[in-house]
A and B are shown apart, each in its own frame.
Chain A
Amino acid sequence: MSEETIYQRLQKQGVSRRDFLKLCGTLVGAMGLAVPPLEGSNLPGHLGKIEDKTILKVARALESKARIPVIWLEFQDCAGCSEALTRSQSPTLIDLVLNTISVEYHETLTAAAGFQTEANKESVMQNYHGQYVLVVEGSIPTAADGVYCTIGGRTALDLLKEAAEGAAAIISTGNCATFGGLPKANPNPTGAKGTWEIITDKPVVNIPGCPAIPEVFTGTLAYFVIFGALPELDDLNRPITFYGKTIHDRCLRRPFYEAGKFALSFDDEGAKEGWCLYKLGCKGPTTYNACASLKWDAGLSFPVQSGHPCLGCSEPNFWDGGGFYQGQSAPLNRPGLTAAGAAVGGGLVVGAAMAAGNRAQKKRAASGLEEEKNQE
Chain B
Amino acid sequence: MNWNAFLEFTRGPLFNIALLIFVGGMTYRLVRVILLGWKRDHVPTMGSKLGGVIKSFIKGTLIWPFIPWVKRTFSKNPVIYLAGGLFHLGLLAVILLGAPHMLVWKSLLGFGWWTLPLPIVDWLAAGAIAAMIALLINRLVNPVLKLISGPAEYLNWTLVFLPMVTGYMMTHHLFFRYEVLFSLHMLCVDVLLIWIPMSRISHFIFYFFSRTIHGADFGKRAVSP
Interface residues of A (CB under 8 A from B): 235-236, 246, 248, 259-260, 262, 279, 285-286, 315-317, 321-322, 326-335, 339-340, 342-344, 346-348, 350-352, 354-356, 358-359, 362
User: Is A329 in contact with B26, judged by CB distance below 8 angstroms?
Assistant: no
B7-45: which residues lie under 8 A (CB-CB) from chain A?
7-8, 11-12, 15-16, 19-21, 23-37
Stretch of B72-80, B85-93, B104-112, B198-206 with 4 or more beta carbons under 8 angstroms from chain A = B104-112
Nearest CB in chain A: distance from B120 CB, A = 8
From A329, A342, A355, B36 is in contact (CB under 8 Å) with A355
A-B contact pairs, 26 of them (CB 8 A): A236-B2, A260-B118, A279-B103, A286-B182, A317-B8, A326-B103, A330-B103, A330-B106, A331-B104, A333-B12, A334-B19, A335-B16, A340-B20, A343-B21, A343-B23, A347-B23, A347-B28, A347-B29, A347-B31, A348-B31, A351-B27, A351-B30, A352-B32, A355-B33, A358-B32, A359-B36
Q: Are A344 and B23 in contact (CB under 8 A)?
A: yes
Minimum CB–CB distance from B6 to chain A (whole Å) comes to: 11
Cα(A128)–Cα(B190), bound, Å? 54
Provide the residues of chain B in CB contact with A331, threshold 8 Å: 11-12, 15-16, 104, 107-108
Contacts of A260 in B (CB 8 A): 117-119, 122
Known: A286-B178, A331-B11, A334-B108. A347 touches B26 (CB 8 A): yes
CB distance from A136 to the nearest CB of B (A): 21
Min C-beta distance of B96 to chain A, whole Å: 14
Task: Tell me whether B5 is interfacial, beta carbon within 8 Å.
Answer: yes
Residues from chain A with a CB closer than 8 A to the CB of B16 are 331, 333-335, 339
Query: Are A332 and B8 in contact, CB atoms less than 8 angstroms apart?
Result: yes
Q: In the complex, A331 Cα to B109 Cα: how many Å?
A: 12
Which residues from chain B contact A339 at a C-beta distance below 8 Å?
16, 20
Q: A331-B12, A331-B108 are in contact. Are A358 and B36 (CB under 8 A)?
A: yes
Chain B residues whose CB sits within 8 angstroms of the CB of A362 once the complex forms = 36-37
- Pair B30/A359 contact, Cβ less than 8 Å: no
- A317–B107 alpha-carbon span in the complex (Å): 20
Question: Which residues of chain B are near A285, meaning CB under 8 Å?
Answer: 178-179, 182
In the bound assembly, the distance between CA atoms of A235 and B6 in angstroms comes to: 14
- CB contact list, B56-101 vs A, under 8 A: 99-101
Q: How far is the CB of A227 from chain B (nearest CB, A)?
A: 27
* A332 and B11 contact, Cβ closer than 8 Å, known pairs A285-B179, A340-B23, A351-B27: yes
Across the interface, which residues of B come within 8 angstroms of A332, CB to CB?
8, 11-12, 15
List the A residue with the shortest CB-CB distance to B110. A334
Q: In the complex, what residues of B have CB within 8 A of residue A358's CB? A: 32, 36
Residues of B within 8 A of A356 (CB): 35
B27 near A348 with CB under 8 A, answer yes
Q: Which residue of B lies closest to A315 (CB)?
A: B4
Task: Give the residue name and chain of the A residue nearest to B101 (CB).
Answer: A329
Partner of A347, one of B24, B35, B108, B122: B24
- In the A-B complex, the 5 residue pairs with the smallest Cβ-Cβ separation, listed nearest first, are A260-B118, A347-B27, A351-B31, A355-B35, A329-B100
Chain A residues with CB under 8 A of B15: 331-332
Band of interface residues on B: 35 or more
Do A355 and B31 touch across chains, with their CB atoms under 8 A apart?
yes
| Chain A contacts for B32, CB-based, 8 A | 351-352, 354-355, 358
Which B residues are CB-close (under 8 A) to A248? 178
- Name the residue in A286, A317, A354 with the highest tally of chain B Cβ atoms < 10 Å from its Cβ: A286
CA of A111 to CA of B120, assembled, Å:
62
Footprint of A on B, CB under 8 Å? Answer: 2, 4-5, 7-8, 11-12, 15-16, 19-21, 23-37, 99-101, 103-104, 106-108, 117-119, 122, 177-179, 182
CB atoms of A329 and B8 under 8 A apart: no
In the assembled complex, which residues on chain A have CB atoms less than 8 Å from the CB atom of B182? 285-286
Among A235, A279, A335, A348, point to the contact of B20 (Cβ < 8 A): A335
CB closest residue in chain B, given A339: B20
Closest A residue to B107 by beta carbon equals A330
A181: min CB distance to chain B, Å: 15
Name A354's closest neighbour in chain B (CB-CB): B32
Residues from chain B with Cβ under 8 Å of A236 in the complex: 2
Bound-complex Cα distance A330 to B11 (A): 8
Q: How many angstroms from the CA of A246 to the CA of B180 in the assembled complex? A: 13
A322 to B106, CA, bound (A): 14
Say yes or no: A326 contacts B107, CB within 8 Å: yes
Contact (Cβ within 8 A) A343 B24: yes
Asked if B37 and A359 sit within 8 Å, CB to CB, the answer is: yes
Provide the residues of chain A in CB contact with B122, threshold 8 Å.
260
**CB of B201, distance to nearest CB on chain A (Å):** 17
A327 touches which of B100, B117, B179 (Cβ 8 Å): B100
CA distance A346 to B31 in the complex (A): 11
Q: A344-B24, A347-B29 are in contact. List 9 more A-B contacts (CB 8 A).
A: A315-B4, A317-B5, A326-B103, A328-B100, A330-B103, A331-B104, A346-B28, A347-B27, A355-B36
Whole-angstrom CA separation of A260 from B97 in the bound complex: 13
Q: Which residues of B contact A350 (CB under 8 A)?
A: 28
A260 to B103, CA, bound (A): 15
Residue in A closest to B185 when the chains form the complex, CB atoms: A329
CA distance A344 to B27 in the complex (A): 6
For A333, give the chain B residue with the smallest CB separation: B12
Please, which residues of chain A bring their CB within 8 A of the CB of B106? Answer: 330
Measured between C-beta atoms, what is the minimum distance from B36 to chain A in Å?
Answer: 5
